[in-house]
Amino acid sequence: MSKTMQVDLVAADAAVWSGQAKLVVAKTVEGEIGLMPGHEPMLAILASGEVRITLEDGEVIKAVAEQGFLSVENNVVSVVARQAALL
C-alpha cells in the first residue's frame, strides 16, 4: 500500500493546493472525517471549516473551505469548494 495519496484542493476560481499527503482531515455535514492512503471510495458534502493536509514529513498545510464536496477514489482526494484559501 502507498504511504501517500494525491490531494487536490480547488476553489471555484483557482487551484489552491496540490500534492502528496499521508492524511487529510476535513469537516463534512455529518462530522469531521480523516482520510488516509487506501481509503475506500466515497463522496461527502463539505461543511464550512478547516481542511488539514498532513505531508509525509509531518508538515501540516491548513486551509479554510466553504461549501462544496470531497471525493476519494483510486488514492486521490479531491476537495472542491466554492471558496477556499490557505491559512
Residue 60: HSE in the Cβ half-sphere, 13 Å Cα cutoff: 10
For 14-55, the three-class secondary structure string (H helix, E strand, C coil) is: CEEEEEEECEEEEEECCEEEEECCCCCCEEEEECCEEEEEEC
What is the model's pTM? 0.94
Structural domain 5-86, CATH architecture: Sandwich (2.60)
- The pLDDT confidence band at residue 2, using thresholds 50, 70 and 90, is confident
Angle formed at CA 87 by CA 44 and CA 67, multiple of 5 degrees: 30
**pLDDT tens digits for 7-31?**
999 999 999 999 999 999 999 999 9
**pLDDT tens digits for 30-80?**
999 999 999 999 999 999 999 999 999 999 999 999 999 999 999 999 999
